[in-house]
Amino acid sequence: MVVFPQPNSKQPPSVLVADDDEAIRALLIAILTRRGFAVHAVRNGAEAIDAIAATDYDAIILDLMMPIVDGFEVITHMERVAPHCLKHCVIVLTAAATKDLGKLDGKKVFRVIRKPFDLDELVEVVTECVDDHEEHPIIHSQPA
């Protein structure tokens, strides 16, 4: 059973979509927004790193194969600056070959979903991720 965010919530759960495929970004924006999420989308890993630095997301949908900075580099960056976010916030959405997924070995992300993906499954995983994030809030310390 999928439980969707309550419409009475103060702020809808926030989701970052980082994917270089415009059609996938548009689809996820439309579906997740309709399901009650606040969605921000970026085209590459460099934009994802900037967005993650500026906003605390409840879930991050991250493609691995993107231009400029790929998803692997985003994960490596997050390991350095926000390792607590990986396990509770990051959903990898990828068409990468199985051998390339080996690069994630030892890196804990919330879930890996292969492309082509089932839209209902992805929405369910995003909802689970948001619920997990609410159960394990991430406290950020501001630099002095």
> What integer pLDDT is reported at residue 132 of this predicted model?
79
Given a cut of 90, is residue 26 above it in pLDDT?
Answer: yes
Closest CA to 86 of 116, 112, 50, 119: 112
> What integer pLDDT is reported at residue 136 of this predicted model?
60
Q: How far apart are CA 77 and CA 50, in angstroms?
A: 11
Minimum mean pLDDT among 37-46, 48-57, 97-106: which range?
97-106
Given a cut of 70, is residue 77 above it in pLDDT?
Answer: yes
What is the pLDDT confidence band of residue 72, given thresholds at 50, 70 and 90?
very high
CATH superfamily of 14-135: Response regulator (3.40.50.2300)
Domain boundaries, the chain: 14-135
Given a cut of 50, is residue 139 above it in pLDDT?
Answer: no
Closest CA to 122 of 50, 30, 6: 30
